[in-house]
Chain A
């Protein structure tokens, strides 16, 4: 397949590529953010437990 023709998207490149780029970026960001939220909450809970044990 002709790469330049594919990228041109029949003249709609300026609309098609930003739409797909944005959708992929938001999907990736959400995957990263969900993992980070879980990792942070886990680390926070561990710190808290360690603190409680140190106080006891």
Chain B
């Protein structure tokens, strides 16, 4: 297999330029989709026959929870690539992803709490799904704290990457927790392999929001990776030419 494109992509100057060109093409569609999804979710979708208007929290809760896991998978994959092939750019991607993931995990927990209060009668329970999601937040914060505690960037990258890989075990636990344990959390809404449990007029705003949030993560990540590259490559010759433009 020809892997020159991969080596090219992994080179910081090349990645920096691609990311700069890509960011607006990810960010503006993300904004448009999220606005459409908000209108669809808040106004166009019909009320749920059991949960009334309260179910609309789904439209911000599910995309946040989805991102909390997608970002962690990205972080862990980048950490693994960085550890195995010693690609420095991969560690920069992992570090750039961590704060984004922590924020969306926080939103998933907080909106879940706001949903749980009227539907279950409590802000919080030590339920399997909720506890695993809280552990995910601690994994993000632990990753950032560990990276920040070590001065040498290379050593910090490797130590944090090991932590990230150990934490991967939490992802299937979160996903399958509603099946493995008898929990308060409701089952999946759309991932029941081709048989979603909601009608199309409720489903489409959710799919639009999921796509919008995913694009938003991609846009945020490109900007943050660019910042991280600038910090790490501060003595590189290419930077002089890049900044002079």
Those of A1-56 within 8 Å (CB) of chain B: 1, 6, 9-12, 15-16, 18-20, 22-24, 26-27, 29-31, 33-35, 37-38, 40-42, 44-46, 48-49
Q: Verify B224–A38 contact, CB threshold 8 A.
A: yes
Q: How far is the CB of A12 from chain B (nearest CB, A)?
A: 4
Q: How far is the CB of A37 from chain B (nearest CB, A)?
A: 4
Q: How far is the CB of B47 from chain A (nearest CB, A)?
A: 6
Complexed CA–CA distance, A29 and B57 (Å): 20
Q: Which residue of chain B is the closest to A15 with respect to CB atoms?
A: B114
Contact residues in B for A34 (Cβ distance below 8 Å): 100, 219-220, 223-224, 227
Those of B182-221 within 8 Å (CB) of chain A: 216, 219-220
Those of B16-56 within 8 Å (CB) of chain A: 27, 34, 38, 42-43, 47, 52-54, 56
Q: Verify B243–A45 contact, CB threshold 8 A.
A: yes
Q: How far is the CB of A45 from chain B (nearest CB, A)?
A: 5
Listed stretches B5-13, B104-112, B167-175; interface member: B104-112
A residues near B (Cβ < 8 Å) are 1, 6, 9-12, 15-16, 18-20, 22-24, 26-27, 29-31, 33-35, 37-38, 40-42, 44-46, 48-49
User: What would be 15 A-B contacts, judged by CB atoms less than 8 Å apart?
Assistant: A1-B43, A6-B43, A10-B53, A12-B53, A19-B57, A20-B42, A23-B64, A26-B107, A31-B216, A31-B219, A34-B220, A35-B223, A40-B227, A41-B228, A44-B231
